[in-house]
Amino acid sequence: MYEAAAAPAGPPVGVVPLPVDGDAPRIDTGATVAAEEEMPLPGAPAKPKDDRSWWRRRAGLLLQWAVLAAALAMLPFVHDQLPDLGAMWSAATSAEPGWLAVVVLAEAGSMGAFARLQRRLLRIGGLKMTLRRAFAITYAGNALSTTLPAGPAVSVVYTFRQFRRGGASAKLATAVILAGGVITTTAYTVIGLVALMADPHARALAVTTLGVPAALLLLLVPALRWRPLRAVVTAPVRRAYRAALAHPRVAPHAEQLAGARDVLRPTARDWAALTVLATLNWVCDILALLAAARAVGVDVDPHGVTLAYFAAQAAGSALPLLPGGLGAIESSMAASLVAFGATLTPAAAAVGLYRLVSYWAVVGIGWIAWVALHEGPRLSARSRLRLARTGRLLMDGLSATALIHPYTNIHLPAHARDAARPRPPVPPPGPVRA
C-alpha cells in the first residue's frame, strides 16, 4: 500500500533524486533538522530560482481540479449507467462483520509488512529503529504520497529526512529507500505474473511474458563471461555514469547512488525475511479486497480479484491526475470485478468498503502520524509541556468517566486525599488559668 518507494503499499513509483546531506551518522533534534532545512548545506548545489509564471508552476494542480470538475459535470449525463447509491448503501451496511474485520486486519498487515521491511533494511545498515517510529514514518509517508500533488516525490524526500533524523547516514537512507522500492516492485511483478498464470485465458500471455526475458537472460549470462563482449555491453552504462559525475547538479546524487550498494550487506536470512515482508505487503492488500468482496456476497475467484487489483493499480498509475488514483482506481476495480462475474452494485459496494479502509482510514492515520512526528507547527517547549499536561488530564478524565460505577474505588492524588480526609473536630478552648 505504501508508495514504495511506500508504498508502500501502492503501485511502484519512479526513483526521485534525494537531498544531499553529510555522510556521518548522527541523531538530529527537531531544532537541528529545522535549521538544516532553512540553511543550505555545505557542498550542496544551490537551489535554482524558479522563474516560471504562477500559472506554469500550478499547472499540475490546476489540471487535477479541472479533471475533477469535468468528472462532476459529466455525472448527470451518465447517471443511468452508475450503480444505485441506495442499493450500494444497503449492500455495504448489510456486509458480514467477520469479513469486515478481515479487511481491517489485512490492511494493517500490509502497512505493517512494509514498515518492518524498511526497519529490517535499516538494521542491516547498522541502525536500530523502534517499531513504533517505523510505523509512523510508513503511515505518514503514505499519507503524503497519496494526498498531495507530486506526492510520491514529497514522500521520498520526507522519508529520507525522517531516516536522517533517526540517525541514518545519507548513504544508508538512500540505500534503504532504493532497496525497498526494488524489492517491493519485484514482488509486485512476480505476484502479477502468478495471477496471470492462474487464469486460463491469460496463461499464454504470462508464459510469453516470462519466456522471452528468460531466454534472453539464459543467452546473455554465458556470453557476458567473455570479457570483450562484456566491455561492449557495459560501455553505455559506464559512459552515462561518467557523464553524470561530470554534471555539477547530478554528481552528488550519482555518488550517493553508487555508494548505496556498499552500505547494505544482507545475509541469506535477511534476504528471506525481506522477500517474505515484500510479498506480504501486496498479498495482505489483495486479501483486503477479497474480504471486502466476500463481505457483500461477491463470489469471484482469488486470481480474479488479484487481476482486478492489478488492473486498478495500473489505471491509477496511468492516470495520476488525482491524488491516490481517486476515481481511476475505483472505476477500474469495479469494472474488473464485473468482468469476472460480479454484478455492478455489489462490486461497487465491495470497492467502496475496500477503499474506505485502504485509502481513507490509512490516510487519516498517516496524517495523525505526521503530526506525532513533530512535522506540524513548531511549538516552544513550554507550549508542548502545557499541551502534554492538558492531554494527560483529558485522558485521565475520559478513562475515569468510562470506568466509573457505584462500586468503583476512586483514586485521588495524595494532596487531594489529604484535603478530602475528614479531620477530628477541634475542641473549644477551655478557660485560661491564671
Distance CA 237, CA 230 (A): 11
> Does residue 10 surpass a pLDDT of 50?
no
Distance CA 304, CA 377 (A): 46
pLDDT of residue 327: 79
Confidence of residue 42 (pLDDT cuts 50, 70, 90): very low
Number of helices and strands in the chain (H, E): 18, 0
End-to-end CA distance of the chain: 92
Confidence of residue 247 (pLDDT cuts 50, 70, 90): confident
Q: Is 2 helix (H, G, I), strand (E, B) or coil?
A: strand
Average pLDDT over residues 379-401: 58
Which grid coordinates are listed for 430?
477551655
pLDDT of residue 108: 95
Torsion of CA 202, 206, 207, 210, to 10 degrees: 180
Confidence of residue 284 (pLDDT cuts 50, 70, 90): very high
pLDDT mean across residues, the chain:
76
pLDDT of residue 168: 92
* 350 neighbors 298 (Cβ within 8 angstroms): yes
pLDDT of residue 256: 66
pLDDT of residue 15: 37
Q: Which residue has the higher pLDDT, 298 or 207?
A: 298
Which grid coordinates are listed for 84?
444505485
* 96 neighbors 295 (Cβ within 8 angstroms): yes
Strand partners of residue 9: 2
> Does residue 86 surpass a pLDDT of 50?
yes
pLDDT of residue 17: 43
Task: Give the distance from CA 114 to its chain's centroid.
Answer: 8
> Does residue 19 surpass a pLDDT of 60?
no
Q: Which residue has the higher pLDDT, 281 or 29?
A: 281
pLDDT (tens digit per residue) in 312-348: 988 887 766 677 777 788 888 999 999 998 888 899 9
> Does residue 174 surpass a pLDDT of 70?
yes
Strand partners of residue 8: 2
Q: What is the DSSP string of 25-92?
A: -----HHHHHHHHHSPPTTPPPPPP--S-HHHHTHHHHHHHHHHHHHHHHGGGSGGGSPPHHHHHHHH
> Does residue 177 surpass a pLDDT of 80?
yes
* CB contact set of 319 (below 8 Å; sequence gap of 6+): 325, 328
* 125 neighbors 176 (Cβ within 8 angstroms): yes
Confidence of residue 191 (pLDDT cuts 50, 70, 90): very high
Which grid coordinates are listed for 284?
495482505
* 83 neighbors 344 (Cβ within 8 angstroms): yes
Q: Which residue has the higher pLDDT, 193 or 309?
A: 309
Q: Which residue has the higher pLDDT, 195 or 19?
A: 195
pLDDT of residue 392: 57
What is the model's pTM? 0.69
What length is written for the chain?
434
Confidence of residue 246 (pLDDT cuts 50, 70, 90): confident
> Does residue 97 surpass a pLDDT of 50?
yes
Confidence of residue 81 (pLDDT cuts 50, 70, 90): low
Per mean pLDDT, which of 208-212, 248-252, 263-267 is the most reliable?
Answer: 263-267
Place of cell 517510529: 133
Q: Which residue has the higher pLDDT, 160 or 79?
A: 160
Q: Which of 18, 13, 6 is nearest to 117 (CA)?
A: 6
Q: What is the DSSP string of 253-317?
A: HHHHHHHHTTT----HHHHHHHHHHHHHHHHHHHHHHHHHHHHTT----HHHHHHHHHHHHHHHH
Backbone angles phi, psi at 9, to 5 degrees: 95, 35
Confidence of residue 40 (pLDDT cuts 50, 70, 90): very low
Residues of the chain with pLDDT > 70, as a percent, come to 65
> Does residue 294 surpass a pLDDT of 70?
yes
Distance CA 119, CA 130 (A): 8
Confidence of residue 408 (pLDDT cuts 50, 70, 90): very low
pLDDT of residue 399: 45
Q: Which of 10, 145, 74, 68 is nearest to 322 (CA)?
A: 68
Q: Which residue has the higher pLDDT, 225 or 389?
A: 225
> Does residue 164 surpass a pLDDT of 80?
yes
pLDDT of residue 75: 65
Q: How far is CA 73 from CA 69, 359, 417, in A?
A: 6, 24, 66
* 166 neighbors 127 (Cβ within 8 angstroms): yes
> Does residue 57 surpass a pLDDT of 80?
no
Confidence of residue 37 (pLDDT cuts 50, 70, 90): very low
Average pLDDT over residues 280-297: 95
Average pLDDT over residues 304-309: 93
